[in-house]
Amino acid sequence: MTGVSVVGVGMIPFGKYPEKNIADLGWPAVKAAIKDAGIEPKRIQAAYSGTARGGAMVGQRILGRLGLAGMPVVNVENACSSSSSALRQAVIAVQSGAYDIVLVIGVEKLSKFGGGTLPLDEDDWEVRLGLSMPALYAMRAQRYMHDYGVKLEQLARVSVKNRRNGALNPDAQMRKEVTVDEVLSSRMIADPFTLLQCCPTGDGAAAIILASNTAAHKIRRDPIHVRASHLTSGKFMAGFRDMTSPEITVRGAHECFEEAGLGPNDIDVAEVHDAFSIAELLYYEAFGFCPRGEGAALLESGATCLGGRIPINPSGGLLAKGHPVGATGAAQVVEIVRQLRGEAGPRQVEGAKVGLTHATGGGISGFDHGACSIHVFQR
Amino acid sequence: MVTRLCGHAMEIDAGGRTVLIGGACRDCGNRAFPRAEVCCACMSEDIAAEPMPRSGTLYAFSTVHVASKKWKKPMRVGYVDLPNGVRVFSHLEGELAIGDLMEAGLGIVGEDENGPIESFVFRKAAK
């Protein structure tokens, strides 16, 4: 199997761009990734584009702007894992030997919905009855707080940390630091979440260029190797399930670590799916960065802050960088690649050699989540 | 009784009590709510309509302040675990705590252009 590396990354700052359409958002990220790779654009042989709510033919619409259409383009929808799932397909394509150089795009425009919670599909029974993403994560938080005695202030510290990181990231949507008091006194969304414990609604785009290892080493001296690439879907359970442990991520992490031949202690930096404050604590535990029930203690120890043992979400994560759903997975890769190259400026994790990205989502009845994609990168 | 929101997933019995109607697979015994056309455990399509137990234990809940216009807000929603192994997502009413014994009833949970929206609602069971 051919090894695969990242040779170029690019993104636009996440934010609100009501005047732009999805192609307007996407092309600058693609152009930036091509420039970063320093390759002739025509060398790209196929493209995989992820968006959750962007509509049909988004990859073609973006590539058309740049005169790059005419190659195979695959459009991928997998909720919050859309572009990380597109990346998975791109990795498989290069591994198979079908292509040497491929492009991955993640793009979303949520400002078109005019704010409020992410619209979900009312064909789904629980959504029809009123379930929303904040409500789903809020129930996880309530049960977690009940089972492990975690306090509101401890949840709020996730937002405080990630906003502090976001303040150091010019690509982040929220660039102002906040205090625990400010987090807790912001308006209530779904108990226990106040506004500042929910990722903001916004727009964004990110792009990645992959190459076979052979091609990659001719393109640049510091390609970032894809050590593991993993995608799975949730398991449907009509009965009871433990909402304090995300089944899909626990399983995905285990399988991904096995594929990489690595364990949680080998990870130097990670971008995980902190859509709401509780999520980051659940994912510390799901990845084995700490035992069950000790997520809040791990955060309070400083281990997951910049300068700590295992910095999590140095970009600001979804809570500060923003969460234009389909763009998130690709943007996580942009951050990890910059970290592994030593290009992250004031938020650089010193000496980072191995990084992980994790995008999971899709609120549907009977599932923990619909999709989860995890990647491990190494310099 | 067929409510606009819940369709055939609930009935009012002869005693005026709200009963949720789920499905029980005649081939493998797997239960689900609401009733599905195909069994998620064995793919059988032979699924009997089955009244669900009327009370269960509150697993988790949240009071939600931001949601679609049609819902009465703040709205309380949560998961109730029934003794037959089925978990039900439901609107809830009253002051509640995780672990409370809950009982199914009927309530108005919102309003849209067609009028009030009626649904099954779980409340704390009378002692």
Q: Is the Cβ pair B5, A128 closer than 8 Å?
A: yes
Q: Tell me how close the Cα of B70 comes to any Cα of chain A, in angstroms.
A: 9
Q: How confident is the model at residue B2 (pLDDT cuts 50, 70, 90)?
A: low
Per cent of chain B over pLDDT 70 is 98
State mean pLDDT over A29-47: 98
Taking 70 as the threshold, does the pLDDT of residue A279 lie above it?
Answer: yes
**Which 241-300 residues of chain A touch chain B by CB within 8 A?**
241, 243
Q: Is the Cβ pair B89, A365 closer than 8 Å?
A: yes
Q: Is B38 near chain A, with CB under 8 Å?
A: no
Q: Is the Cβ pair B5, A129 closer than 8 Å?
A: yes
Taking 70 as the threshold, does the pLDDT of residue B82 lie above it?
Answer: yes
All residues at 6 or more sequence positions from A218 whose CB lies less than 8 Å from its CB, including other chains: none
| Chain B residue with the nearest C-alpha to that of A134 | B64
pLDDT score recorded for residue A341 = 98
Q: Is B81 near chain A, with CB under 8 Å?
A: yes
pLDDT score recorded for residue A114 = 87
Fold of A125-201+229-378: Peroxisomal Thiolase; Chain A, domain 1 (3.40.47)
Q: Is the Cβ pair B78, A139 closer than 8 Å?
A: yes
pLDDT score recorded for residue A29 = 98
Active site amino acids of A: 80, 323
Better pLDDT: A290 or A369: A290
Taking 90 as the threshold, does the pLDDT of residue B7 lie above it?
Answer: no
Which chain A residues contact residue B60 at CB under 8 A?
A: 139-140, 142-143, 146, 243
Q: Is the Cβ pair A188, B78 closer than 8 Å?
A: no
Q: Is B30 near chain A, with CB under 8 Å?
A: yes
Q: Could you tell me the residue ranges of all domains in chain A?
A: 4-113+202-223, 125-201+229-378
Q: Is B88 near chain A, with CB under 8 Å?
A: no
Taking 90 as the threshold, does the pLDDT of residue B100 lie above it?
Answer: yes
Taking 70 as the threshold, does the pLDDT of residue A1 lie above it?
Answer: yes
| Chain A residue with the nearest C-alpha to that of B61 | A139
- Please state the three-class secondary structure of chain A as a single string: CCCEEEEEEEECCCECCCCCCHHHHHHHHHHHHHHHHCCCHHHCCEEEEECCCCCCCHHHHHHHHCCCCCCCEEEECECECHHHHHHHHHHHHHHCCCCCEEEEEEEEECHHHCCCCCCCCCCCHHHHCCCCHHHHHHHHHHHHHHHHCCCHHHHHHHHHHHHHHHCCCCCCCCCCCCCHHHHHHCCEEECCEEHHHECCCCEEEEEEEEEEHHHHHHHCCCCEEEEEEEEEECCCCCCCCCCCCCHHHHHHHHHHHHHHCCCHHHCCEEECCCCEHHHHHHHHHHCCCCCCCCHHHHHHCCCCCCCCCCCECCCCHHHHCCCCHHHHHHHHHHHHHHHHHCCCHHHCCCCCCEEEEEEEECCCCCCCCCEEEEEEEEC
pLDDT score recorded for residue B3 = 77
Q: Is A57 near chain B, with CB under 8 Å?
A: no
Superfamily of A4-113+202-223 according to CATH: Thiolase/Chalcone synthase (3.40.47.10)
Q: Is the Cβ pair B34, A238 closer than 8 Å?
A: no
Q: How confident is the model at residue A339 (pLDDT cuts 50, 70, 90)?
A: very high
pLDDT score recorded for residue A131 = 95
Taking 90 as the threshold, does the pLDDT of residue A257 lie above it?
Answer: yes
Q: Is B34 near chain A, with CB under 8 Å?
A: yes
- To test the contact with chain A by mutation, choose from B80, B81, B84, B89 the residue with the greatest count of A C-beta atoms within 10 A, namely B89
Per cent of chain A over pLDDT 90 is 93
Q: Is A152 near chain B, with CB under 8 Å?
A: no
Q: Tell me how close the Cα of B122 comes to any Cα of chain A, in angstroms.
A: 13
pLDDT score recorded for residue A362 = 86
pLDDT score recorded for residue B1 = 58
Taking 90 as the threshold, does the pLDDT of residue A55 lie above it?
Answer: yes
Question: In this predicted model, what pLDDT tens digit does every residue of A177-232 receive, in sequence order?
Answer: 999 999 999 999 999 999 999 999 999 999 999 999 999 999 999 999 999 999 99
Number of A/B CB contacts below 8 angstroms equals 92
Q: Is the Cβ pair B64, A366 closer than 8 Å?
A: no
Q: Is B86 near chain A, with CB under 8 Å?
A: yes
Average the pLDDT over each of A19-33, A79-93, B4-18, B68-82 and give the range with the smallest value. Answer: B4-18
State mean pLDDT over A327-346: 98
Per cent of chain A over pLDDT 70 is 100
| Domains A4-113+202-223 and A125-201+229-378 alike in fold | yes
Average the pLDDT over each of A46-55, A115-124, A144-153 and give the range with the smallest value. Answer: A115-124
Which ipTM did the prediction report?
A: 0.96
Which chain B residues contact residue A128 at CB under 8 A?
A: 5
Q: Is the Cβ pair A146, B60 closer than 8 Å?
A: yes
Q: How confident is the model at residue A147 (pLDDT cuts 50, 70, 90)?
A: very high
pLDDT score recorded for residue B34 = 95
Average the pLDDT over each of A137-141, A366-370, B41-45, B96-100 and give the range with the smallest value. Answer: A366-370
pLDDT score recorded for residue A121 = 85
Q: How confident is the model at residue A122 (pLDDT cuts 50, 70, 90)?
A: confident
Question: In this predicted model, what pLDDT tens digit does every residue of A235-251 receive, in sequence order?
Answer: 988 789 999 999 999 99
